[in-house]
Structure 1
Amino acid sequence: MRTGGIADDLAWWRAHGGAADLDAARLDDLLARLKAWTAQHDADRARQPGPFLKMAWDGVFADEANEVAEAIVQIEAALTPTKSD
C-alpha cells in the first residue's frame, strides 16, 4: 500500500479507517510510517534554535502533527482486539 507521502497516508486512513475488513499487516505498515513521521517531526522541531522558531514550527506543522497523532491512536485502537466480557 505504499503511497506518496504522509498526506496520502492520512487521506487513505480517512477514506478506509471505518472499514471492518482492514488488513492488520496494512495497518501495521501504515502505523509504522506514521510513527516514523512523528519521530522525524519531533527531531526536526527539537533542532530549531530558540523558542520563536519552535513556535513558528508548531504554527506551520500543528494541523498535520495533530492529524497524524489522531490517526495513530485510531489505528492502534483498530489493531487492539475487542474484549468481550
Structure 2
Amino acid sequence: MAKHSHRFVETYDGFVGYGLDRQTDENTVQFYLQKLSDDELMKVILKRMSDEDLTEIFDVAGKVLKKYLSEPEYHRFFLKEEEG
C-alpha cells in the first residue's frame, strides 16, 4: 500500500488562484504543491534546475517542516515512520 497520497488535486474543483481569501489560498497552495510533485513533471523540471534553484527549493521545504511540525509530527507525517 502506498504511504503517500495526493487525492486533493484529483478531486478539487474549486477556484485556483491566490489572494481571494484564506481558504482559497490554502486550497491553491495544496493544489500547486501536489501538481508540482507529480513524478513525470519532476523528471522534466529537476534536470533543468540550477544547483542554486535546487538548494532554494530544499531550503524552503526544510524551513516549512521545521517551523510547522514538531519532531514527532515530522517523523509521522513527512517521513511516514510507523510509531512504536
TM tier relative to shorter chain: 0.3 to 0.5
Q: Which has the higher contact order (CA 8 A, sep 6+)?
A: 1
Question: How high is the TM-score relative to the length of structure 2?
Answer: 0.36
